[in-house]
């Protein structure tokens, strides 16, 4: 196709927009030019919001937007605007609220009809090309809307005003709602327990989404009751072979173990490559929507690491390593650092997960007879599978465990494992020869930072040195490319961030196609909060003070750009510099619900609380408390969708703990550069337990001077006489006071358990 046949989206940077540049629709990108055209020609606007990973977006593209008749109607009666929801979440969130108010529907593709100044008056999601699915055909909708705009213009304008009012009330809070107490955590827990599917795990019925934040809330509750192990094995485990765990009498433990085991054994988990698909269309976690998102996998990676800490099951550790294996292979820029956004579900419109699914003949073609028999029993591969579009296609999920296959085939369990391992490798190698679903290589700041934090969390617990190294490279790339100092210059990673002076984050580090123009889209609240948290995690992982300085500067910039000093809380986006916001972007939002990523306000509150822990500046804690107070009256009513808010409340109500491990310098007989065994043991115990308010940071004795320490640590650590003993030791600090240093691993464990048991929010009190 020559460039003369392409529409204006050929000049876009977004992969989703560029995928539509061949369509006969006269598409516009979101911007002043589109609005000016609509107002000049007095035409309503057709707004399509979708994403490159969205299956039904591709379906509607092929069925309707590729169609010449549809294009003729659109081009005659509308000004068409296409938006990538990943690139512009601020636009998406507001028009999602609008369409939900009109139709009760939400999701992608989002199809909205707007007045020429961008006010929505009608909308829906997917519209079929012909009447069906209980929906009118798209052509009929287009012609009806065009006629209504011309013939009932007054009614359209009145409807637009009503919808705009509904948007203004969606997640918009203008007052402090009450005192923050642990009752909101108990309300969220109660919601989780009432929605829990005891048979299959997870919450609610089909379709079933993972809810990582509420799982973390319950895991931490479980972890506070657990004994801290002195050491923990890091041997490889087997996905598909969960260990038996005692679930009696412990509801949080039952929820997390049942859910995480069923998810990792289900078809929602990629049994060959690792990593999770976005959600399951059934309640059993068998048939997924096949797209894979980096943010789902980053947050679920944390869940499996934290569950491993709390429960001790090697099955969970193995699942965590397998998620990293997939992300390393498919969603990582190994050359430059950085995590890609997503992998698509399909190859084309006639496809529905065909890349990931198998017919029995396809499996037999690449396996020996014995391997095929074992794999068919284990993954439930039969003549009739689960896919409606092709009943011969099977989703791989764990149907029969090793011991059952061993009995049925009269083979040893070791032999069954060998056959499964070889079958898995052969099937994956064969799958790699198939046409591969598109990987969106866009590096978004917030999602990348979430992946960085997840990798660092896994690396400190497992431990995984390569994961730590890649996470730091990725964070360095974000800081170098997307963080601009207060004077507009790019950050110097080696020097740390300049401070004071409110710098600015961008939303995108790099687009999928490196040949396209790089758009400097201003960062949103999520970008600032996730990146500040990643920098704090990096400081604790490396003891490199430059990361703390970046966290401090980004946290201050987050306050400067988004904090509501009058009513508390953070807005999701900045107002337009010239005060002229397009469409409904002037509507201010304060996100509190997790959907689907952790909500911006509680993430921002956690940033401020963690900065307070290291800085000792009460202003940060005050702003965090104001933020949580702004939603205290409503958060408990949101149930599991306010789980990140519950995590922030736990941070606020519990005294923070910092475990500082000091490693002795090289001594006689010790190889230079070799890690100190005693320091390793102390750090392992400190990292073994998962509590929201516990941080572990390790220094060499020579580093433990004020210039290398965050302020609250600098006031104490350099004055410890134990620094001169030449021995490794640990110091547990809580609430800006420190206990006597310890060199004994058992003594550190006792200190931690005692500290965890003091007024833990996860106790049964108040329930």
Do 633 and 688 sit in the same domain of this protein?
A: no
Q: Is residue 190 part of a domain?
A: no
CATH number (domain holding residue 516): 1.50.10.20
Structure-token match 């040949």, residue found: 515
Structure-block tokens of residue 62: 């092929």
pLDDT band at residue 451 under the 50/70/90 scheme: very high
- Does any domain span residue 186? no
Q: Which strand ranges, in their side-by-side order, compose the sheet holding 737-738?
A: 694-700, 657-663, 729-734, 737-738
Q: CATH code at 703?
A: 3.40.30
Q: Please spell the DSSP secondary structure of 526-552, one letter per residue.
A: HHHHHHHHHHHHHHHHH--HHHHHHHH
Exposure string of 548-574, with b = 16+ CB inside 10 Å and e = fewer, is: bbbbbbbbbbbbebbbbeeebbbbbbe
Give me the residue label for tokens 């089909």: 206
The verdict on 557 and 487 lying in the same domain is yes
Is residue 516 included in any domain, yes or no?
A: yes
Residues 221 and 315 in one domain: yes
Q: Which of 402, 431, 460 is the last residue of a domain?
A: 431
Which pLDDT value is given to residue 171?
57
Query: Of 77-86, 207-216, 233-242, which gets the smallest average pLDDT?
Result: 233-242
**Separation between Cα atoms, residue 712 and residue 737, nearest integer Å:** 10
- From first CA to last CA, the distance across the chain in angstroms is 65
**Residue showing tokens 């941070």:** 651
Strand, coil or helix: what is 96?
helix
- What is residue 249's predicted lDDT score, i.e. its pLDDT? 47
Give residue 257's domain range.
201-265+279-330
pLDDT at position 348? 80
Is beta strand 342-343 parallel, antiparallel or unpaired with respect to 79-84? unpaired
Tell whether the torsion through CA atoms of 508, 512, 514 and 516 is positive or negative.
negative
**Per-residue CA distances from 352 to 456, 754, 762 (Å):** 34, 53, 43
CA gap 99, 167 in Å, rounded: 9
Can you give the pLDDT at residue 161? 85
Same domain, 58 and 78: yes
CA angle 561, 562, 563 (to 5 degrees): 115
**pLDDT tens by residue, 21-55:** 999 999 999 999 999 999 999 999 999 999 999 98
Residues 375 and 306 in one domain: no
Closest among 420, 427, 479 to 449, alpha carbons compared: 479
Does the structure show a pLDDT above 80 at 756?
no
Task: Let me know if residue 422 belongs to a domain.
Answer: yes
- Together in a domain, 621 and 493: yes
- Other CB atoms within 10 Å distance of the CB of residue 234: 14
In this prediction, what percent of the chain has a pLDDT beyond 70? Answer: 90
How many folded domains does the chain comprise?
Answer: 5
Q: How far apart are CA 94 and CA 110, in angstroms?
A: 11
> Which residue, 431, 456, 481, sits at the end of a domain?
431
**pLDDT at 707 (0 to 100):** 84
pLDDT exceeds cutoff 50 at 248: no
- One domain for residues 304 and 232: yes
pLDDT of residue 579: 66
Comparing C-alpha atoms, which of 73, 61, 50 is closest to residue 140?
A: 73
Q: CA–CA separation, 171 vs 591, rounded Å?
A: 6
DSSP string, 386-455: S-TTSTT-B-----S-HHHHHHHHT--HHHHHHHHHHHHHHHHHHHTTSPPPPEE--EEHHHHHHHHHHH
Q: Are 113 and 145 in contact (CB under 8 A)?
A: yes
DSSP code at position 104: S
CA 197 – CA 202 distance, rounded (Å): 6
Which tokens sit at 223?
């972890």
Question: Same structural domain for residues 596 and 447?
Answer: yes
Question: DSSP readout, 172-230?
Answer: ---S------THHHHHHHHHHHHHB-TTT-SBSSSSB---HHHHHHHHHHHHHHSPPPS
pLDDT tops 90 at residue 468:
yes
What phi and psi, each to the nearest 5 degrees, are found at residue 342? -165, 165
pTM attached to this predicted model: 0.94
How many angstroms separate the Cα of 196 from the Cα of each of 203, 211, 594, 604? 5, 11, 18, 28
pLDDT surpasses 80 at 668 = no
What average pLDDT does this structure show over 559-588?
Answer: 90
Q: Say whether both 303 and 160 belong to one domain.
A: no
Q: What DSSP assignment string belongs to 264-328?
A: HHSTTB-TTT--B-SEESSTTS-SEE--EEHHHHHHHHHHHHHHHHHH--HHHHHHHHHHHHHHH
Residues 664 and 567 in one domain: no
Lowest mean pLDDT among 206-210, 244-248, 464-468: 244-248
- Across the range 412-424, mean pLDDT stands at 98
Least confident of 174-188, 505-519, 660-674: 660-674
How would residue 766 be classed by pLDDT, with cut points 50, 70 and 90?
very low
What's the pLDDT score for residue 666? 64
The Cα–Cα gap between 399 and 451 comes to 31
Q: Does 767 fall in a domain?
A: no
Determine phi and psi for 387, rounding to 5 degrees. Answer: -90, 120
**Within a domain: residue 521?**
yes
Nearest-angstrom CA–CA distance, 261 and 258? 5
Nearest to 596 by CA among 295, 208, 197: 295
- Alpha-carbon gap, residue 311 to 613, rounded angstroms: 28
* CATH number assigned to the domain comprising residue 70: 3.40.30.10
> What's the token pair of residue 766?
């108040």
Task: Indicate which CATH number applies to the domain containing 405.
Answer: 1.10.10
User: End of a domain among 595, 628, 651?
Assistant: 651
In a domain, 9, yes or no: yes
Same domain, 424 and 448: no
State whether 595 and 687 are in the same domain.
Answer: no
DSSP 610-654: HHHHHH--HHHHHHHHHHHHTTTTTGGGGGGGGHHHHHHHHHHHS
Distance (Å, rounded) from C-alpha 699 to C-alpha 702? 8
pLDDT 10s digits, 287-326: 999 999 999 999 999 999 999 999 999 999 999 999 999 9
Task: Report whether pLDDT(686) > 90.
Answer: yes
C-alpha distances in angstroms, 280 versus 56, 205, 251, 286, 658?
Answer: 16, 10, 24, 7, 39
User: Is residue 344 assigned to a domain?
Assistant: no
As a whole number of angstroms, the distance between CA 535 and CA 445 comes to: 12
């Amino acid at each position: 196709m020559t460039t003369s046949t392409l529409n204006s989206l050929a000049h876009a940077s977004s992969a989703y927009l560029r995928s539509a540049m061949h369509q006969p629709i006269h598409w516009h990108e979101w911007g002043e030019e589109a609005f000016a055209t609509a107002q000049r020609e007095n035409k309503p606007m057709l707004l399509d919001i979708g994403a490159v990973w969205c299956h039904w977006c591709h379906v509607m593209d092929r069925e309707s937007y590729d169609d010449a008749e549809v294009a003729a109607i659109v081009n005659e009666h509308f000004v068409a605007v296409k938006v990538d929801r990943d690139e512009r979440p601020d636009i998406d969130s507001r028009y999602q609220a609008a369409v939900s108010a009109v139709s009760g529907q939400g999701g992608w593709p989002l199809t909205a009809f707007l007045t020429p100044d961008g006010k929505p008056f009608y909308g829906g999601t997917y519209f079929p090309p012909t009447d069906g699915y209980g929906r009118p055909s798209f052509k009929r909708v287009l012609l009806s809307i065009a006629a209504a705009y011309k013939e009932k213009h007054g009614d359209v304008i009145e409807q637009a005003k009503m919808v705009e009012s509904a948007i203004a009330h969606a997640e918009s809070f203008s007052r402090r709602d009450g005192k923050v107490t642990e009752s909101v955590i108990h309300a969220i827990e109660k919601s989780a327990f009432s929605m829990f599917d005891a048979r299959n795990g997870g919450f609610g019925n089909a379709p079933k989404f993972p809810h990582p934040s509420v799982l973390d809330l319950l895991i931490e509750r479980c972890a506070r009751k657990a004994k801290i192990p002195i050491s923990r094995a890091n041997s490889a485990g087997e996905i598909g072979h969960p260990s038996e765990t005692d679930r009696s009498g412990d509801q949080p433990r039952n929820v997390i173990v049942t859910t995480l085991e069923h998810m990792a054994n289900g078809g929602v988990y990629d049994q060959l490559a690792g990593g999770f698909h976005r959600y399951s269309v059934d309640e059993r976690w068998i048939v997924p929507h096949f797209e894979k998102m980096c943010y789902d996998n980053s947050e679920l990676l944390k869940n499996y690491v934290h569950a491993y800490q709390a429960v001790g099951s090697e099955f969970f550790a193995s699942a965590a390593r397998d998620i990293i294996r997939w992300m390393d292979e498919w969603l990582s820029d190994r050359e430059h650092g950085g995590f890609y956004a997503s992998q698509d579900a399909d190859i084309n419109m006639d496809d529905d997960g065909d890349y990931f699914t198998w017919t029995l003949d396809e499996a037999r073609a690449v396996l020996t007879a014995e391997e095929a028999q074992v794999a068919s029993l284990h993954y439930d591969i039969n003549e009739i599978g689960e896919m409606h579009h092709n009943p011969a296609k099977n989703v791989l999920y764990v149907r029969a465990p090793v011991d059952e296959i061993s009995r049925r085939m009269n083979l040893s369990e070791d032999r069954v494992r060998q056959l499964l391992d070889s079958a898995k490798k052969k099937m994956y190698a064969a799958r790699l020869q198939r046409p591969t679903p598109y990987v969106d290589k866009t590096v978004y700041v917030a999602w990348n930072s979430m992946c960085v934090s997840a990798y660092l969390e896994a690396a400190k617990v497992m431990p995984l040195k390569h994961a730590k190294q890649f996470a730091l490279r990725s964070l360095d790339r974000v800081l170098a490319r997307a963080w601009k100092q207060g004077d507009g210059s790019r950050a110097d990673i080696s020097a740390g961030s300049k401070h004071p002076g409110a710098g600015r984050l961008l939303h995108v580090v790099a687009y999928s196609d490196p040949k396209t123009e790089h758009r400097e889209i201003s960062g949103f609240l999520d970008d600032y909060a996730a990146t500040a948290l990643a920098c704090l995690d990096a400081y604790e992982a490396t003891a490199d003070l430059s990361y703390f300085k970046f966290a401090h500067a980004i946290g201050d910039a987050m306050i400067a750009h988004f904090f509501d000093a009058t009513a508390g809380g953070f807005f999701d986006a900045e107002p337009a510099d010239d005060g002229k916001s397009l469409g409904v972007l002037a509507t201010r939002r304060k996100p509190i619900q997790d959907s689907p990523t952790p909500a911006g306000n509680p993430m921002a509150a956690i940033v401020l609380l963690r900065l307070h822990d290291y800085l000792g500046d009460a202003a940060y804690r005050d702003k965090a408390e104001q933020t949580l107070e702004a939603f205290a009256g409503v958060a408990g009513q949101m149930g599991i969708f306010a789980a990140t808010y519950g995590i922030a409340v736990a941070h606020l109500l519990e005294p923070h703990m910092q475990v500082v491990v000091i490693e002795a310098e090289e001594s006689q007989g010790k190889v230079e550069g070799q890690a100190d065994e005693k320091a390793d043991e102390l750090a392992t115990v400190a990292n073994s337990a998962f509590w929201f308010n516990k941080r572990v940071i390790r220094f060499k004795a020579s580093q433990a001077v004020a210039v290398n320490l965050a302020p609250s640590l600098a006031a104490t650590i350099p004055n410890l006489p134990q620094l001169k003993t030449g021995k490794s030791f640990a110091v547990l600090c809580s609430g800006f006071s420190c206990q006597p240093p310890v060199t004994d691993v058992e003594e550190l464990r006792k200190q931690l358990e005692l500290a965890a048991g003091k007024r833990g929010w996860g106790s049964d009190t108040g329930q």
